[in-house]
Structure 1
Amino acid sequence: MDRREVVYVVSDSVGETAEFVVKAVSTQFNGGHVDIRRNSFVQSEEDIDEIINMASENSSIIAYTIVIPSLKEYLDRQAALANIQAIDLLHPLMNAFEEKFHKEANHRSGLMRQLDDDYFRKVEAVEFAVKYDDGQDPRGMLIADVVLIGVSRTSKTPLSMYLAHKGYKVANVPLVPEVSPPDELFKIKKSKCFGLIITPDKLNAIRKERLKSLGLTSKASYASYERILEELDYAEKIMKRVGCPVINVSDKAVEETASVILDILKNERSYK
């Protein structure tokens, strides 16, 4: 390309995909000196007419990602009448998907943006769970979607991460007899707080394995029955004071416990 050319990027959504493809192609021609003009959220024939008029004034190409069939057909027709080359960046691949996988496309704009929003919401939730893990900052409970409380080794952290990947912001707080629970715990809605309990035998076995992995003796007070009973008794008193739902995690995988929590949250919302 000896001179700067114009490519109109047209989309019924944001148009990032089309612009990225055009930039990738333009780098193959004289270092990518192409004037790219993005036209986002094109929703009507009038929008297309305006783009066709602008493109007619230049030596232009139209590259588009329009999934709404009627708009695509109108753009193709008007571009042909104006002798403007219009390149469909989506439909050839969409057609291949339909033929190969025997599925029909939704033909709805903005779906990629929805996927992006879901992704970033999950990333934000994971970052939240890390920041407010193990009672690091009690203020997180006030803005969390879910708050988990329980003694050590009741799967609070793995459960927080699992729920975070579902898009929920989770804070968790350990309950220890020697440490008073934070004031924030009694200010949150009890419907978003969940107490995790476990049988003494199960907790004893888990804590012994934990000590072994750390190279410590299983006779440490952390795994003693007396200590475990003391902690569980204290935790149950706190849970009763909070008035939150209590889930026995003794024989549950993290996924099962998460399912119980999500069902409770769903039922809670349905009653509002």
Structure 2
Amino acid sequence: MHAPKEKQLIYVLSDSVGETAELLAKAALSQFDEGCAITRRVPYVDDLQTVDEVVKQAKETDGMILFTIVLPEVKQYLMEQAADQAIPVYDILSPLVTMLEDKLEAKPRNESGLMHMLDEEYFRKVEAIEFAVKYDDGRDPRGILKADVVLTGVSRTSKTPLSQYLAHKRLKVANVPLVPEVDPPKELFEIPKEKVIGLKITPEKLNSIRTERLKALGLKAEANYATFQRIQEELDYSADLMEKLGCDVIDVSERAVEETANLIYQLVQSKQM
């Protein structure tokens, strides 16, 4: 009987996290018998000493090396050491980068970690969107203390769409509806006033929005929700509360959601400087 062949070791090197290189290695390995090789990821390779250590291990285990290193001096040193030790080595990125360089007539940055930075941006956006859904419409006041910005105002002042729009800018947004019969959450008074944005609107505009909302729901436009008396009561209450909070207030009457969101974003950015 033939002795079972030892699994091939593939060292996957990167000057960032190395997820891309390992995924490509595993995609290639999927074309072969399962378990014929295993990958060993070595992230954040940005010094020559680490290269020496991996080359030594690859030599001792009869392994091979795949890499996505863009730092020129580290990449060159790795290629030279691997060639000197007769270790199979494959540069995953360079062929494509060279092709793009020729086609785009532009020089690559040769900076490590750029892809990971993009990944982090994406995950921050997803996290912010999930946050906005979880803490929408005052569902859980604990979100107020965790938020980057808290929107507050009466019903139909675009709190939810604004929260979602700002989430795509990676801001964690909670929103709190203001109703005269319901005390606002105490958390609203516990956070810095700079984090709170009040939304106000004219009675006429709010009446128009609420009337259309009632029609869309198949309800009578004369419902108390859309009467000028009720609207004025709510707006007076919200104005008094916003004054107590000492927060910035934005009039959304004649502004599109995108315009208001950009204004809020600029306010938040200016306070973080």
- TM-score, normalised by the number of residues in structure 1: 0.94
Confirm or deny that 1:232 pairs with 2:216: no
Equivalent of residue 69 in structure 2, options 57, 60, 66: 66
Runs of 4+ in 1 over 6 A off after TM superposition: none
Question: 1:116-265 alignment to 2 at 5 Å?
Answer: 116-265=119-268
Counterparts of 2:16 and 2:269, CA distance in 1? 31
Equivalent of residue 39 in structure 1, options 34, 39, 42: 42
Counterparts of 2:54 and 2:146, CA distance in 1? 46
Residue 54 (structure 1) aligns with: 57
The C-alpha deviation readout for 1:78-107, integer Å capped at 9, x for no partner, is 211222221011111122222223343221
Q: Is the 8 A contact 1:23 1:32 kept in 2?
A: no
Q: Is the 8 A contact 1:212 1:218 kept in 2?
A: yes
Counterparts of 2:41 and 2:86, CA distance in 1? 20
Q: Is the 8 A contact 2:201 2:252 kept in 1?
A: yes
Counterparts of 1:269 and 1:173, CA distance in 2? 22
Identity over aligned pairs, percent: 55
CA shift for structure 1 position 32: 4.1
What is the number of residues matched between the two proteins?
Answer: 270
Counterparts of 1:94 and 1:253, CA distance in 2? 42
Q: Which runs of 5+ in 1 are unaligned?
A: none
- 1:231 aligned counterpart, secondary structure: helix
Residue 89 (structure 2) aligns with: 86
Q: Which runs of 5+ in 2 are unaligned?
A: none
Counterparts of 2:231 and 2:105, CA distance in 1? 57
Counterparts of 1:256 and 1:190, CA distance in 2? 22
Equivalent of residue 19 in structure 2, options 12, 16, 21: 16
- TM-score, normalised by the number of residues in structure 2: 0.94
My pick for the range that moved more, 154-163 or 123-132, is: 123-132
CA shift for structure 1 position 3: 4.4
Counterparts of 1:15 and 1:122, CA distance in 2? 22
